[in-house]
Chain A
């Protein structure tokens, strides 16, 4: 597996065969405290990559930096060869790198369907002047609505489409947020803890959706605490601790890496890292 993805033996910052995102020297400090200090990072195209690490490892901060929601003190990164440093968040999303948030950001007073429609690209009616001339955007709106309804069906939210997003459960909001991110047909989806707060009945279907994304050719990068999920769906795992990347590799190798066990568990060496609980549940 490592040979398919990485150019050399698995190690922090290893070069990838076909990287979609390459970051160099990305560093972010908060009042003297180093939150992120990544020397070199490559994300493989068309794969599912997991970003793991203990609380405060800087995973979400790295997400924020790469997607333009925060600015690093230093650093450069490219997406599909395009320099992204200093590019504002909305432009990052437009060129195909769409993220979700750890704390779900469903737009409560919009209907579920409107949430979805807002995710779409190329709606001329989103410009102030053209908004006034309905014929200019009616056709595109119909296309968007069809696409939105299709995705909602896939995520089993179609029954809710005319309800306010505020009425959804926490897990449903996670699903909505993910579905909404897919409306723009992104090249790279970055999911920040997609499983947090989702009840077990939904986790399995969420896992299937993420695998389905890969089958459609979308690259996935996700932050997760749940080791079971990481082991089950990821092709590659990157481990962060104290702002740095401490290990990389295929899931099974990484889980055995003493540096990871050290970073991840600290004193709790005897804990089980990769129990196949989900698999058992699924069976």
Chain B
């Protein structure tokens, strides 16, 4: 098996819009968890709400790109407010429970064929989802038509375009997060993460701050969701499960939750490793070194490794691979 090829194509994976989408979600989660201490176990649902909002606006209302994106963001804001109102006054586990439950229910709702528009079409497309909503986005593509070779991967002009936009959004969100977390507003968030009663006793409206953080991070996840589905050109309910959410968590905790560059570094490391492990395992299966395991089972083993990584990171390196031990997020 050729390790160099495996490594190279893993690297090719890195620069895709798919990775950018996860990094966007992880930056949003950094605002939730890293800076405010909110345990959001349903980040996938925020991404999905944004993605469906965008797709439905583009397909059903024939909205132009900007309006579709704004509609997706509006859906994420509403979703955040609905989840935040009952939970943000209570102990941290309630947000965790409600977000994980809401993510599950969102999948049911998206899969269900019960919610239809007046002409009888299922608004979310049911189990098959929606597709072909990227027209308004790709029509703006300034990249000349053709095949491009990037790290051994052959990309079309449309793929290049969505990759560029995806990573530009990452840069914008990272800068926004950088400036906000260094402002007095960010100081209040960090204070809430450490001890919300203390911040309350200093006259700050803790509930409002938490809600703002939930909305802001949720909007970033919604942008991530839009990038994800514009890249894949379909939005299907099965994608937005717990695996999606906890891949985001692993990305965030790998890089370090309390830094702005953490999610980006985490995303780079995670997806390189993820693709590389897949290639290596597939190679081992091909030469019958993995017993009776099949290729689909390799994907499952990879998820087991994600789960293990999440556990081990939280236990042994809560500050992330690059974080400073002194700044470890959890100290009781």
Which of A's residues lie within 8 Å of B, judged by CB? Answer: 67, 69, 88-91, 93-94, 98-101, 105-110, 114-115, 117-119, 121, 123, 125-128, 131-132, 134, 137, 141, 164, 166, 177, 180-181, 183-184
Contacts and interface: CB of A to CB of B under 8 A. Distances in A.
Contacts of B191: 107, 110, 115, 118
Contacts of B216: 128
B326 interface: yes
A105 B206 CA distance: 15
- Report the contact-size class of chain B (Cβ under 8 Å from the partner): 20 to 34
A131 B180 contact: yes
B194 A117 contact: no
A164 B188 contact: no
Nearest to B197: A105
Main secondary structure of the interface of B (DSSP, over half): helix
A99 B201 contact: yes
A62 to B, nearest CB: 16
A117 B188 CA distance: 10
Contacts of A128: 180, 185, 212, 216
A137 B180 CA distance: 13
A137 B194 CA distance: 24
A49 B91 CA distance: 34
B204 interface: yes
19 contacts: A88-B205, A98-B203, A100-B201, A105-B201, A108-B331, A109-B258, A109-B327, A118-B191, A119-B202, A125-B184, A126-B184, A126-B185, A126-B188, A126-B204, A127-B185, A131-B179, A132-B179, A134-B183, A181-B202
Nearest to B213: A128
A177 to B, nearest CB: 8
B184 A131 contact: yes
B187 A184 contact: no
Contacts of A105: 195, 197-198, 201
Contacts of B187: 110, 114, 117-118, 126
Contacts of B195: 105, 107
Nearest to A118: B191
Contacts of B326: 164
Given A69-B201, A93-B201, A110-B187, 9 more contacts: A88-B205, A89-B197, A90-B202, A90-B205, A105-B197, A107-B198, A109-B331, A118-B187, A119-B202
